[in-house]
Amino acid sequence: MSVQPTTDPAPGQIDRSAALEFYRVMLTIRRTEEQLARSHQQGLIHGACHTYVGQEAIAAGVCAHLRPDDAVFSTHRGHGHALAKGVPPRELIAELFGRATGCSRGRGGSMHLFAPEIGMMGTSGIVGPCILQATGAGYSFQLLKTDRVGVAFFGDGAVNNGAFHEGLNLASICRLPVLFVCENNQYATEIAFAYAAGNPQVGMRGSAYGMPGVTLDGNDVVAVYQAAGEAVARARAGGGPTLLECRTYRTRAHAEGMRDVGYRTQEEVDRWKAQDPIARCRTYLLQKQAVAVEALEQIEADVQTTVTEAERFARNSPWPEATTACQHVYSEPAQPASH
């Protein structure tokens, strides 16, 4: 079942500087993805490249609540999560170019983006396990008696995978500090979620596990920010996990270079493009936050400069030295205790 997004961002008491930051983060993701799409056509990217175009409000709205010591686990469509968690565009682009300056030192590519020093605990090409990894992070944060949270971002394609059941159930019975963020973009590759799910209301599944489940307009950054804020606060306070279903849409092909015909209509794509989260955020800033258009144009220019420079940096970066191939593969052996 496809739900239509609403046209107005939810009203709310959002600080203007926070709202401007949403815009900057979302635009950084969009411009970086557009650059990566061009770079893919130029043969500069090694491995697959799944862009996050159309879904930017979710990463921006959720990650705005996270600290560097909170842990994010992501998917094959994870560039937006990495950028919103704080990976600089130059390190992300360099990673996809396979360069030594990439966030994973050029060893991982799009589906192995790691920056543990800021809590970016990895993107992954395997659909589902990030749900269990975030649950495990929440378990360790609880054992360590911290107020840190684990966050799993995953698509609708992951919610019929056993990992979803196991992760949500364990998180619920242990009241773990975890956010399960389903980015329901309506399709898993070319399979419509409405076809593949006996119950396509993902948010409603929360009650099956005894946790709050919220369905929201994932193209509305204000709505995402508010729902995620409640969920993070509850998790930090020991109130347990939350399932957020963010209804959204990817407006590019499943992956760069793939065909994008035959499974959805142009009319449907156009309808969702008209609900573009960045355009909606811009309207919100102008109309509800009374931001001057010049301020937005300055952000737009700054973001474009950052991404242009990031691509140049990546292209001019060295390849990893062959002699370093075994570095960062295994942890250093622990020193035996002296008796």
Ligand X SMILES: Cc1ncc(C[n+]2csc(CCOP(=O)(O)OP(=O)(O)O)c2C)c(N)n1
Tell me: does residue 158 bind ligand X (CB under 6 A). Answer: yes
Q: Which residues contact 77 (CB under 8 A, 6 or more apart)?
A: 50, 51, 52, 55, 155, 183, 250
Q: Which is nearer to ligand X, 81 or 99 (CB)?
A: 81
The answer to whether residues 228 and 235 touch, using CB atoms and an 8 Å cutoff, is: no
Q: Which is nearer to ligand X, 78 or 89 (CB)?
A: 78
The answer to whether residues 174 and 141 touch, using CB atoms and an 8 Å cutoff, is: no
From residue 254 to residue 283, what is the string marking binding to ligand X with x (rule CB under 6 A)? x-----------------------------
Name the nearest CA neighbour of 51 among 27, 32, 68, 65: 32
Tell me: does residue 317 bind ligand X (CB under 6 A). Answer: no
E strands of 76-166, at which residues?
150-155
Q: Is 243 helix (H, G, I), strand (E, B) or coil?
A: strand
Backbone angles phi, psi at 198, to 5 degrees: -65, -40
Q: Which is nearer to ligand X, 95 or 183 (CB)?
A: 183
Tell me: does residue 248 bind ligand X (CB under 6 A). Answer: no
Segment interacting with ligand X, rule: CB under 6 A, options 183-191, 216-224, 273-281, 299-307: 183-191
Chain-centroid distance of CA 152 in Å reads 9
Q: Which is nearer to ligand X, 174 or 269 (CB)?
A: 269
Q: What's the min distance (Å) between Cβ of 124 and ligand X?
A: 9
Q: What's the min distance (Å) between Cβ of 246 and ligand X?
A: 12
The residue within the footprint of ligand X, chosen from 33, 56, 70, 156 (CB under 6 A), is 156
Q: What's the min distance (Å) between Cβ of 182 and ligand X?
A: 9
Count the site residues for ligand X by CB under 6 A: 15
Residue where the block lists tokens 């995978």: 161
Residue 45 C-beta-side C-alpha neighbours within 13 Å: 24
Q: What's the min distance (Å) between Cβ of 132 and ligand X?
A: 12
The residue within the footprint of ligand X, chosen from 187, 225, 249, 284 (CB under 6 A), is 187
Give the integer Cα–Cα distance in Å for 95 and 102: 4
| Binding interface with ligand X (CB under 6 A) | 76-77, 125-128, 155-158, 185, 187-189, 254
